[in-house]
Structure 1
Amino acid sequence: MTEGSAADTTPVKPTARRPAGGEGAPAGTPSGGGRDRLAALTGRRESAFPEALRHTARVTQLRRWIIWGVGGTVALVGLGLAASSLRFLPIDLNLSRIALKGTRIVIETPKLVGYRKDGKPYEIRAKVGVQDISTPDVFDLDGLDVRVETEGANPIVLTAAKANYSTKNDKATLSGGVSVSDGKNFDMRMAAAAMDFKSSVMTSDQKVVLKIEGGEVVADTVEFSQKERRATFAGNVHSILYGEDEAAQASVKASGETRERETQNNGAAQDGLRAAQ
Structure 2
Amino acid sequence: MVKLCGICENERAILKRPKTAQQICKTCFYHVFETEIHHTIIDNNLFKRGDRVAIAASGGKDSTVLAHIMKTLNERHNYGLDLSLLSVDEGITGYRDDSLETVKRNQQQYELPLKIVSYQELYNWSMDDIVKEVGLKNNCTFCGVFRRQALDRGAVMLGVDHIVTGHNADDIAETVLMNILRGDVARLQRCTEIVTAGESMIRRSKPFKYTYEKEIVMYAYFKKLDYFSTECIYSPNAYRGHARIFLKDLEAVRPSAIIGKQFP
TM class, shorter-length: under 0.3
By percentage of residues, which structure has more helix?
Answer: 2
TM-score with structure 2 setting the length: 0.24
Structure label with greater radius of gyration: 1
